[in-house]
Structure 1
Amino acid sequence: MSSKAQAVLSYLGILWLLAYFAGKNNRDQFSAFHLRQGLGLTISSFLFVLILSILMAVAPSIAFIFNFFGLLIFILMIVGILHAINNVEKPLPFIGEYFMDKFPFIENKKVN
């Protein structure tokens, strides 16, 4: 799997696993960067959904917040995919800086 394909798939939720395992032997700095950003986005999305689901169970009148965060996550996915397509290593807005050095198991395998 090419580096760019790994980078694009890394932002598509469960397809992150496909990008991680299928491209393991062909990983470079570019794909590793986007795999970290994509995993960070997926984990952040899960945590937001979990927290907002609990809040909505307590106070259903705040359902609009759930819709707002859902739209924000979708926009971050699109931004990440556009960065991957354009060969740009730029962190995602709001959360990307935090995940720059996280997930040490995602490493560069390919030596150029």
Structure 2
Amino acid sequence: MNNKTLSILSYVTIIGWIIAFVKSKDVSPKSDLVTYHLKQGFGIFLFSLVVNILLSVIVTIVPSLYFLSYIGYVIFILWIFGIINAANEQKKPIPVIGQMFEDKFSFVN
């Protein structure tokens, strides 16, 4: 797989991220692009997991706050931005939350 494919795959569910992570270890010259998008993809996965768990608890306790579930659509749109950046082979962070993940997840290096 080439670097562009691995970068895009790093956003496609956690299984796609694992495949991209394992395949990126096989590439002899380490690609900064793939490493960057692996960090961004893992970050948005963890962010969406935490937000969904919190929203489930909040809406269960206070059902009148059901409108907060629309935050999931915002996360979906941010995920699309990540895929577009990977497809264009750009190292741009995901809007709003992407800069939090740039220097995290050192195990990806």
TM (norm. structure 1) is: 0.89
AA aligned to 1:13 is: T
Higher relative contact order (CA 8 A, sep 6+): 1
AA aligned to 2:57 is: I
Secondary structure of the 1:30 match is helix
- My pick for the range that moved more, 27-36 or 13-22, is 13-22
Which residue is equivalent to 2:37?
A: 34
**Structure 1: gaps of 5 or more residues:** 108-112
Identity between Structure 1 and Structure 2 (%): 38
Deviation at 1:23, TM superposition (A): 2.6
Which residue is equivalent to 1:55?
A: 58
Q: How many residue pairs were aligned?
A: 106
**Structure 2: gaps of 5 or more residues:** none
Q: Deviations over 1:82-101 (max 9, x none)?
A: 00111110001111111001
- Structure richer in helix, relative to its length: 2
Which runs of at least 4 in structure 1 moved beyond 2 Å after TM superposition?
none
Q: Is the 8 A contact 1:16 1:39 kept in 2?
A: yes
Which residue is equivalent to 1:110?
A: none
